[in-house]
Structure formats: C-alpha cells, structure tokens
Amino acid sequence: MKSFFLIFVVFSLSSCAVASLTTTAVSTAVKVAEVPFKVVGSVLSDEEEETEEEQ
C-alpha cells in the first residue's frame, strides 16, 4: 500500500511539473511572438508623429 501511495505521489508531482513547464513555454512563446508586432507598432506610430509634425 505504501508503494502504491508513493507511486501516486510521484506521478501527480510529475504531472504538475509538466503542466507548469507547458504553461511557461506557452507564455514565453506568446511574449516572443508579440515583439515583432510591438516593433512594427512603434515604427508606425513614429511615422504618424512625423507626418503630423510636417503638417
């Protein structure tokens, strides 16, 4: 019975670790994917500001 409990604890902890790693990987991937959009957005806003200053 003790070995069954020990195996159950090990599997439950490993599944929590996998879920945590998956969540971390997904959030990191989303942050990396946001960077090009932020760069393009800042370039576009800079161009709009320059256009407004010229007018």
* Segment 11-43, tens digit of pLDDT: 776 766 667 777 888 888 888 878 877 777 777
- Between 30 and 52, the more confident residue is 30
The token pair that represents 17 in the structure block: 């670790």
The token pair that represents 51 in the structure block: 């256009």
Q: Quickly state the pLDDT bin for 52 (edges 50, 70, 90).
A: low
- Between 45 and 26, the more confident residue is 26
- What's the DSSP call for residue 11? H
- Got the DSSP string for 14-32? HHHHHHHHHHHHHHHHHHH
Coil vs helix vs strand at 55: coil
Q: For residue 51, what pLDDT is reported?
A: 67
